[in-house]
Amino acid sequence: MENQSVSELLPREKLLLYGVESLTDIELLALFLRTGTYEKSVLELAAFLLKECGSLYHVINADYETLGRFKGVGVGKFTQLQAINEMAQRFSTTQFMYKNVLSSSEDTKHYLQKLLHWRDREVFVVLFLDNQNQLIAFEEMFKGTINRVEVHPREIVRQSIKKNATSIILAHNHPSGVCEPSLADKEITEKIFTACQLVGVNVLDHLVIGHDNCVSFAERGWL
């Protein structure tokens, strides 16, 4: 193994030697697929799925009707990918509970950026907090397209009341990588702020996540 170049290593060997961060999307997906077909190795199958679906995000979130039409992806692989997707979402939620990522605004921004910057569709998340600013729940409430997401303030208010939240933090990503808030971002934030005020829920911040940084509405004095 010492004489092998990095490019010659199998994904599992590469992970053990250099860490999981060293794996490409193809190699990471291949680890979960585990096997290929008679015509394609597992790496070739992973590369094919990424090309056909467009990204790792789309492969993981594809339904069975989409994935099942590809040779080599049956019920077993589909259910495994679905389980991985659900586990990743639950892991993201529990990290807020156990890693104290709300200990400072910088920690919160850093974690949300890590969580959302890679998504290739807009995702709008809400952090629900109690009167001590401790996290009650973290939810991906709305999912959209590459350049917009439809957000319903009434649903955010409803969930805040249901969870007995006294404050919330909003966040969403810009798949373009540019984190500068749009006019639509400002308008929906104002609508959410106004709706939440009516029921005594404080909107502490709205973070817009780009590829390398993020913008805080609170820091700009917009809240």
Indicate if 109 and 62 belong to the same structural domain: no
Q: Is 202 among the domain residues?
A: yes
Statement to judge: residues 163 and 86 lie in one domain = no
Residue 27 has pLDDT above 50, yes or no: yes
Q: What letter represents residue 187's amino acid?
A: E
51-81: pLDDT as tens digits = 999 988 889 888 999 999 999 999 999 999 9
Of 53, 69, 90, the one marking the end of a domain is 90
Residue 7, pLDDT > 80, answer: no
In a domain? residue 199: yes
What the block records as the tokens of 46 is: 């992973």
Say if residue 47 is in the same domain as residue 109: no
Structural domain contains residue 1? no
Same domain, 163 and 72: no
Say whether both 120 and 183 belong to one domain.
yes
d(CA 26, CA 50): 7
Q: 90, 119, 142: which is the final residue of a domain?
A: 90
Q: Which of 159, 148, 153 is nearest to 188 (CA)?
A: 153
Angle at 35 between CA 29 and CA 32, to 5 degrees: 30
Check if the beta carbon of residue 215 is closer than 8 Å to that of residue 179. Answer: yes
Give yes or no: residues 106 and 36 share one domain.
Answer: no
Same domain, 118 and 176: yes
Last-in-domain residue among 38, 55, 90: 90
Tell me, yes or no, whether 210 and 119 share the same domain: yes
Q: What total number of domains does the chain contain?
A: 2
The pLDDT tens digits for 121-163 are 899 999 999 998 888 988 999 999 988 999 999 999 999 999 9
CATH code (residue 180): 3.40.140.10
pTM as predicted: 0.70
Do residues 40 and 63 share a domain?
yes
Is 196 found in the same domain as 135? Answer: yes
Q: Are residues 78 and 132 in the same domain?
A: no
Q: Which residue segment(s) compose the domain that 160 sits in?
A: 100-216
Same domain, 52 and 125: no
CB atoms within 10 A of CB 8: 10
